[in-house]
Amino acid sequence: MGASAQDIDALLPQTQCTRCGFEGCRPYAEALAAGTTALNRCPPGGAHTITALAALLDRPALPLDPACGTETAGMVAVIDAARCIGCARCLPPCPVDAIVGAQRQMHTVLEDLCTGCELCIAPCPVDCISLQARPASARESVVPTPTDNAARYAAHVTRQAAREAERLALLAERKRRATARVSRFKNERAP
């Protein structure tokens, strides 16, 4: 029997960067377990993760697929405070909620939580977010562990789902009220 998605997922860095072509580490692990994708699609994990996956899956190790990106040293997002307009578009895509700020306020990245996934860069309308090498000194920056990343991602997904459920409930209530008003209006106008 092959490796389970859970065993594979445990080897991934949990950056949730989507560079592998999947929506996160777990879907990539599920595809690997099913044998429907290659094991060399994780730039954040790089050669170390590819080697570990190859051993677990009893497949040959392959070089990192260049279509997915390149292996780099640990990176963190940095926001240029002078250019940030506080639009908050960088907040929702961050899979580990490493960006803090409020609408029309300057945002900042919590280095100790940032996975360097790059997902916050594209939504920024003023290009004030860049990736920089994570500071080498452990005192300056703590590298988040895959376990921490997975827990923060789960909390992020749960929070997003709760917000969406709340939004849908609010819309349903507004629709119910509007339908009731229209019905009352029609009844009042009926001869």
Question: For position 186, what pLDDT does the model report?
Answer: 79
Same domain flag for 59 and 82: no
pLDDT at 137 over 70: no
pLDDT band at 141 (very low <50, low <70, confident <90, very high): low
Predicted TM-score (pTM) above 0.95: no
What average pLDDT score do residues 34-47 get? Answer: 93
Say if residues 166 and 105 touch (Cβ distance below 8 Å). Answer: no
Same domain flag for 79 and 134: yes
φ, ψ of residue 10 to 5 degrees: the values are: -65, -20
In this structure, of 34-38, 58-62, 78-82, 99-103, the range with the lowest mean pLDDT score is 99-103
SS3 state of residue 138: coil
Question: For position 1, what pLDDT does the model report?
Answer: 53
Maximum separation of any 2 CA atoms in the chain, in Å: 81
Four-CA torsion 110, 30, 163, 158, nearest 10 degrees:
-70
Same domain flag for 19 and 58: yes
Q: The domain that contains 133 carries what CATH number? A: 3.30.70.20
Strands 75-79 and 129-133: antiparallel
Domain with 16, as residue range(s), is: 5-68
Reported in sequence order, the residue ranges of the chain that DSSP labels E, i.e. its strands, are 75-79, 99-100, 108-109, 129-133
What average pLDDT score do residues 37-53 get? Answer: 93
Strands 75-79 and 99-100: unpaired
Same domain flag for 57 and 119: no
Place of tokens 């991602």: 153
Place of tokens 């009926």: 190
**pLDDT tens for residues 8-30?**
999 999 989 999 999 999 999 99
Say if residues 188 and 128 touch (Cβ distance below 8 Å). Answer: no
Place of tokens 């500071």: 135
Q: What is the mean pLDDT of the chain?
A: 89
**pLDDT tens for residues 65-106?**
999 998 888 889 999 988 999 999 999 999 999 999 887 778
Same domain flag for 119 and 79: yes
SS3 state of residue 136: coil
Instruction: Count the domains in the chain.
Output: 3
Same domain flag for 44 and 9: yes
Same domain flag for 62 and 86: no
pLDDT at 173 over 90: yes
CB under 8 Å to 110, separation ≥6 — which residues? 98, 99, 100
